[in-house]
Amino acid sequence: MQKRKLGKSNLEVSTIGLGCMGMSYSYGPPKEKQEMIALIRAAVERGVTFFDTAEAYGPYINEELVGEALAPFRGQVVIATKFGWKIDLKAERGLAGLDSRPEHIKEVAEGSLKRLRVDAIDLYYQHRVDPEVPIEDVAGAVKDLIQQGKVKHFGLSEAAAKTIRRAHAVQPISAVQSEYSLWHRDPEKEVLPTCEELGIGFVPYSPLGKGFLTGKIGENAKFDSSDFRSILPRFTSEALKANQALIHLLSSIAERKKAPLAQIALAWLLAQKPWIVPIPGTTKLDRLEENIGAVAVELTPDDLRDIESASSKITIQGARYPEQIERMTNR
């Protein structure tokens, strides 16, 4: 597995990481714990050194899973986790709004350290920007944790360019994590240029469009109520039908390259910038191996031009989130 550095930070990780959320949360009921521990360890054996979790996933159970699975590999792997939610196990999905007050951030860090079984959190993201708390105060709280040796690197998730600049001025940011893929390219407008200018790495979550870009989700796909795609406008049957145009485009490139669609979608991301590290999630070993295989797929300048030209003619249908969730992004 090749490695990449997240921007100008000295944080070096595998070119493709592993998003662990779906093992415990959002994509149906939690998967069997021992199977997921085996999968995470299989990822390490195959060269993956970058794992993504959050206090909110479960809540708590995903951090516990990742902590147990990676306990034998301390010092060999980088674990990213996140703060910024008010956890209430009685609330829907266990989340009762945002909370990035400095005292709360510090309290949450203690819980994450225990669940992850580490002395320091490698990369600590604010999960969503809290409009009630100045970003300078958030960055200051993480700076304190870094000075105390409890956190190594600071990150933001789904933050707007101006917010990134303000936070970076208080505590240098190592990575920004936001959704980015061939079917969600908003970061290209302002966030990626800002990251490039400031020397910040970029970590695309949902790099396979929550499964859509694998080509395995047809226009008639139905999702169980425990799968959060069941509430996403982009996963209605009308949107799925309209968005198959993107799958047809990827299929033509995949045929040319003799590679699965998922590998083309990931290789496209890797070709955008050398400091981009996608974190596709999976619960299956064959998919893990397929995703890792994307590092061997080289898209030529002609391939990239063809993708750009064809995708510019495709209008993606459906919002990626319901309005109340979308309001929490790009703040």
Q: Is the dihedral of CA 52, 54, 57, 62 positive or negative?
A: positive
Q: How far apart are the C-alpha atoms of 244 and 173, rounded to whole Å?
A: 37
Joined tokens for residue 317? 């249908």
In the set 27, 57, 60, 180, the catalytic residue is 57
Q: How far apart are the C-alpha atoms of 227 and 225, rounded to whole Å?
A: 5
In what helix (H) or strand (E) does residue 272 lie, and over which residues does it extend? helix 261-272
Phi, psi of 7 (to 5 degrees): 65, -145
Beta-ladder partners of 12: 5
Strands 151-157 and 173-179, by their bridges, are parallel
Confirm if 54 and 81 have CB atoms less than 8 A apart.
Answer: yes
Q: Is residue 5 helix, strand or coil?
A: strand
Q: Which of 141, 171, 176 has its CA nearest to residue 157?
A: 176
With a CB cutoff of 8 Å and minimum separation 6, the contacts of 88 are 94, 95, 96
CA 64 to chain centroid: 18
Strands 201-205 and 173-179, by their bridges, are parallel
Q: How far apart are the C-alpha atoms of 36 and 204, rounded to whole Å?
A: 22
With a CB cutoff of 8 Å and minimum separation 6, the contacts of 255 are none
Residue 57 annotated to the active site: yes
Beta-ladder partners of 277: none
CB atoms within 10 A of CB 41: 14
Give the catalytic positions in this structure: 57
